[in-house]
């Protein structure tokens, strides 16, 4: 039985493909041959990636009436080309290099790669990757830079702890956060030359004062001037990075203002805070028409299991693959936070963790959060409503018990008919 397919065999008449490098790019343009109907003509030209050369390329593409420009996601070299052609009114497409595989046995050069990409693009055998609009791109740059700064600060804090361990200063054994107010004052005193454990322990504040004895024991070490120099440098780097993070967060607040209603609704999701909401909007935008369904969004983010089948056997089923690392990180953190709550997502996390382990539970809850995000962003009037931790017991539990009892009775040879009690 033959079924209709969604694929279209229509060839794009005027298409261009770019093989982009750091210093130059190769452009292949394929258009109908005016003298020989049914045949194609192509032009292969090398351009510099400098702005003036890219403007010349844009003029040439408009002159030839190109309706689609396709380029591979090569490092970050594609960005200036994509943005400039977009600003010039053209229709650039960014495609995944995995979708345009190099065929074995075919010679590989920049020109041949551009021709191959153009031929694949004109037959509509590739899909465009998601490139957010300019306001979201600006926000994405800031949220990603903030994440990188936080990672850098964390790495520096780890170096501080290693330095104290090297000096046999066991402050981290006593204090849960050595970079709190008490810890910073103690380290400042060490840098200033104070070496008396009892004097250092007296810098403890509030709840830490109950640990004076342990602190005195922790400061018995061999902290030298060499350690003081390194500690001073490391703490200065931490303070500088913290100031940069604060400045970036201020800028994020300014750019996120137009999307404030969406942020408020995402913030209502269990486990999702303001920072996580900012990152989600920066990574996927607010226009969900780019993703036909919530499943499409989960697949793009690699929060859906992949399928690899050969000879009737499933190989690698269940693996999600590598998606957007910034989105994956914030979804994972939100899933772990949700798992600690007495909510529907928290109970779902614990149910899956008991059967499949914590890692699979994190991915499953991350996917659930992503589905919720899609629905909230697709419908401006939608609001998040928690189903409650007893959802499974009240809705799914009885149905499952009923099915199990019926199955057991049928296995004993009975025909079961269920009728609700009055």
Reply yes or no on whether the pLDDT at 167 is more than 90. yes
Reply yes or no on whether the pLDDT at 414 is more than 70. yes
Give the pLDDT mean for 75-93: 90
**Residue 5: predicted pLDDT:** 43
**Contact by Cβ (8 Å): 265, 382:** yes
Burial environment of residue 315 by CB neighbours within 10 A (0 to 12, 13 to 18, 19 or more) = exposed
**Residue 279: predicted pLDDT:** 95
**Residue 104: predicted pLDDT:** 65
**Residue 105: predicted pLDDT:** 67
**Residue 315: predicted pLDDT:** 61
**Contact by Cβ (8 Å): 12, 122:** yes
Reply yes or no on whether the pLDDT at 147 is more than 90. yes
**Which of 101-110, 210-219, 307-316 is least confident?**
307-316
**Contact by Cβ (8 Å): 107, 5:** no
The CA distance from 63 to 20, in Å, is: 21
Reply yes or no on whether the pLDDT at 149 is more than 90. yes
What's the pLDDT tens digit per position in 365-378?
Answer: 999 999 999 999 99
Give the pLDDT mean for 118-128: 84
Reply yes or no on whether the pLDDT at 59 is more than 60. yes
CA 5 from centre of chain? 33
**Residue 319: predicted pLDDT:** 63
Give the pLDDT mean for 17-22: 90
The CA distance from 260 to 273, in Å, is: 13
For residue 220, the tally of other CB atoms under 10 A from its CB is: 13
Reply yes or no on whether the pLDDT at 363 is more than 50. yes
Query: What are the backbone angles phi and psi of residue 340, rounded to the nearest 5°?
Result: -95, 0
What's the pLDDT tens digit per position in 234-286?
Answer: 999 999 999 999 999 999 999 999 999 999 999 999 999 999 999 999 999 99
Give the pLDDT mean for 377-399: 85
Burial environment of residue 29 by CB neighbours within 10 A (0 to 12, 13 to 18, 19 or more) = buried
- The percentage of residues in the chain with a pLDDT greater than 90, rounded to a whole number, is 58
**Contact by Cβ (8 Å): 172, 187:** no
Mean pLDDT of the chain: 88
Q: What is the pTM of this model?
A: 0.83
Residue 9's pLDDT band, with cuts at 50, 70 and 90, is low
For residue 106, the tally of other CB atoms under 10 A from its CB is: 9
Residue (of 245, 52, 45) closest to 153 by Cα position: 245
- Dihedral angle over CA of 271, 277, 279, 285, nearest 10: 130
Reply yes or no on whether the pLDDT at 6 is more than 80. no
């Amino acid at each position: 039985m033959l079924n209709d397919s969604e694929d279209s065999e229509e060839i794009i008449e005027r298409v261009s493909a770019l093989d982009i490098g750091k210093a130059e790019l190769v452009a292949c343009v394929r258009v109908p041959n005016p003298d020989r109907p049914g045949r194609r003509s192509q032009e292969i030209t090398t351009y510099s990636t400098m702005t003036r050369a890219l403007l010349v390329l844009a003029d040439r593409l408009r002159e030839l009436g190109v309706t689609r420009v396709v380029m591979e996601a090569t490092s970050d070299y594609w960005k200036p080309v994509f943005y400039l052609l977009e600003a010039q009114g053209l229709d650039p497409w960014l495609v995944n290099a995995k979708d345009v595989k190099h065929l074995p046995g075919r010679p590989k050069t920049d020109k041949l790669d551009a021709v191959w990409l153009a031929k694949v693009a004109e037959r509509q055998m590739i899909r465009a990757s998601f490139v957010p609009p300019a306001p979201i791109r600006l926000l994405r740059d800031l949220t990603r830079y903030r994440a990188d700064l936080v990672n850098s600060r964390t790495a520096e804090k780890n170096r501080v702890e290693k330095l104290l361990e090297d000096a046999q200063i066991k402050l981290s054994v006593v204090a849960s956060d050595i970079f709190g107010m008490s810890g910073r004052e103690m380290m400042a005193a060490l840098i200033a030359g104070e070496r008396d454990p009892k004097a250092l322990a007296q810098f403890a504040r509030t709840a830490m004062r109950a640990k004076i004895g342990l602190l005195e024991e922790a400061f018995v070490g061999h902290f030298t001037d060499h350690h003081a120099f390194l500690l001073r440098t490391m703490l200065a780097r931490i303070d500088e990075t913290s100031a940069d993070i604060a400045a970036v967060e201020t800028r994020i607040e300014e750019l996120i203002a137009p999307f404030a209603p969406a942020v408020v609704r995402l913030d209502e999701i269990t486990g999702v805070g303001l920072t996580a909401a900012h990152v989600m909007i920066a990574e996927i935008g607010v226009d969900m028409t780019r993703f036909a369904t919530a499943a499409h969004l989960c697949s793009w983010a690699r929060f859906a299991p992949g399928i690899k089948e050969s000879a009737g056997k499933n190989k690698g089923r269940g693996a999600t693959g590598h998606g957007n690392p910034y989105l994956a990180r914030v979804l994972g953190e939100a899933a772990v936070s949700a798992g600690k709550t007495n909510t529907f997502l928290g109970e779902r996390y614990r149910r899956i963790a008991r059967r499949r382990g914590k890692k699979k539970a994190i991915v499953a809850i991350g996917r659930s959060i992503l589905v919720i995000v899609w629905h909230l962003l697709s419908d401006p009037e939608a609001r998040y409503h928690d189903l409650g931790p007893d959802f499974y017991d009240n809705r799914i539990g009885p149905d499952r018990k009923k099915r199990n009892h019926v199955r057991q009775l049928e296995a004993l040879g009975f025909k079961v008919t269920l009728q609700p009690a009055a």
